Chains A and B, each alone.
Chain A
Amino acid sequence: MQTLPDCRIVEPSELLESARTLHDEGWRLITASCVPRATGWTVLYHFEHGGQLTHLRVELGPDGAVPSLGSVFASAFLVENEMGELQGLDVTDLAIDYRGRLYRDFDWPEVWPDETAGVSSILETAGLTRLDACVPVIGGEEVRAHTTRVPAPPTGSDTHGQEQ
């Protein structure tokens, strides 16, 4: 069976320090890969230096979380937001937190009530509006509030896919 050469298992509590050591030695963060498992997640951080690769592996249980590497590698925020959004991984202390809306897939039924089906949207149930959902949070504060252009919600018979 093929395995990753030079792959080291670390605990979540050791991750930040291990990453800092690699950074100080000149390693570049290529990206991270998150593999959802039945009992949690496997998270791999891939680094390159001088054409060589090394990897840090973190095994997490169902309640596990990893710290953000943003304080060490400034470019980590994108992949960390993505892992949280697409694989459900809990990443703490994100430098730029898109709150699960890095990918702004504004499908009508998801965002606005589908009156014909008699159900409310996930966002509305959570007390959020479409605008709230796409405002990034930086340093614990919302930024760019009220700047993202938001189309008006459909009214009456003018619902998605049911135009008269």
Chain B
Amino acid sequence: MAQTIVPFGPQHPVLAEPIQLELTLEDEIVLEVVPGLGYVHRGIEAETERRSYAEDLPLLERVCGICSVAHAVAYAQAVETLAEVEVPRRARLLRLLWFELTRIHSHLLWLGLAGDAIGMEALFQACWRVREQVLDLFTVTAGNRVILGVVELGGVRRDLPDGIQPIVRAGLDSVERGIADIRTLALDNDAVARRLSGVGTISHDDAVELGLVGPTARGSGVAIDVRTSSYGAYDELPTEPIVETGGDALARTVVRWREIGESIRLCREALDRLYGLRGGLSTRVPPVLRGEATTRVEAPRGELFYYLAADGERHPTRVRVRTPTFANIPAVIRMLPGTSMASVPVALLSIDPCLSCTER
């Protein structure tokens, strides 16, 4: 049978950001895929080499609008490692709180987009309605909805007074109730399960071989989660990787769903520890650094890796950012062959691709 080559994207209804997949089809079945990137490359890594360490922080926060806190924390940790400074406990707990709130809103955003991709507008609307409550918590605690600007080198720049805690706790309760209400639309819905089950399957061995990260890897039974390395405040608030073994889009959905509940737990425990805790918010970081450092954090989509090289100047020599989607794109090449054309959007979306992150 004749083969057809179809360019999927860079503009497509299911894609919030541009990527092109050049698909080789036989009838309706994908035989091969080659990804094409570069539509939102901004040269952020190169730009960091012309700014001071402190000025790089707000720039790197803007690598991604959804997980801006992850980039800020990862970069700050790399600088703090180079400077050999210790972040105050209160700051580490506050970073964890904003980080886990980010994970909740990112997973809800993704679940809504997945609902939209499978033609279920009600799920999209329900998820984004609950997500809006998380953004309200950002507004209350940080003053911003998306790019929070709360992290600074050596700590955080905003505190969370004890008097605000009841508002945050009530917000978390509301988010939890909202998620419970969505469950009948999402996980308990046969239509959703049928549409996601068996789509974009990645075996455990493939996930290991390709070096996949985050919910994409955990949905294939790979227990990988950087939080288990106890960075930041995760040493006193440990968490275990949430793993499913199905390897398909449904398994990845279940992983993200369960992680929302775990993140709510971590937020509450962080609030418990913050209540009445005295101490500073930041440690001074010198403006000139020398050496090399790497750091990893568990962003909503998986492991976020930073490499920082400094040659004794007021700006870094090199900042290398390896985002989770960059690590997960090879999964697309492996999982799409054998998939029907109609399932390509769902399969692609199931790795929660973030192209702005990937291309920087």
Contact = CB atoms under 8 A, between A and B. Distances in A.
Interface stretch (A1-9, A13-21, A116-124): A1-9
Contacts of B291: 1-3
B307 A74 contact: no
Given A30-B211, A74-B210, A144-B34, A2 B84 contact: yes
Interface string A52-93: 010100000000000000000111011100000010000000
A75 B303 CA distance: 15
Contact of A31 (B41, B229, B320): B320
Contacts of B191: none
A28 B211 contact: yes
B34 A138 contact: yes
Nearest to B46: A86
A74 B290 contact: no
A33 B318 contact: yes
Contacts of A28: 208, 211
B290 A1 contact: yes
A3 B292 contact: yes
A79 B321 CA distance: 11
Interface of A is mostly: mixed
Nearest to A42: B309
Most chain B CB within a 10 A radius of its CB, from A31, A34, A74, A105: A31
A74 B309 contact: no
Interface residues of B, number: 41
Given A2-B81, A28-B208, A78-B326, A105 B36 contact: no
B188 interface: no
A25 to B, nearest CB: 13
A35 B290 contact: no
Contact of B294 (A53, A104, A134): A53
B32 to A, nearest CB: 8
Interface string B29-43: 000001011110100
Contacts of A77: 330
A74 B330 contact: yes
A54 B229 CA distance: 15
Contacts of A149: 7
Interface string A102-132: 1111000000000000000000000000000
Contact of B7 (A51, A86, A103, A147): A147
A27 to B, nearest CB: 10
A44 B307 contact: yes
A144 B82 contact: no
A2 B310 CA distance: 10
Which 6 residue pairs of A and B lie closest in terms of their CB atoms, listed nearest first? A103-B38, A2-B291, A104-B38, A31-B322, A33-B320, A75-B330
Interface of A: 1-4, 28-31, 33-36, 42, 44, 46, 48, 51, 53, 55, 73-75, 77-79, 86, 96, 101-105, 134, 136, 138, 143-144, 147-149
18 contacts: A1-B290, A2-B81, A2-B82, A2-B292, A28-B211, A30-B296, A30-B303, A31-B326, A33-B309, A33-B318, A34-B320, A35-B309, A35-B317, A46-B294, A102-B37, A103-B38, A103-B359, A147-B6
Given A31-B327, A42-B309, A78-B329, 8 more contacts: A2-B290, A2-B292, A4-B292, A46-B307, A74-B210, A75-B210, A75-B327, A134-B36
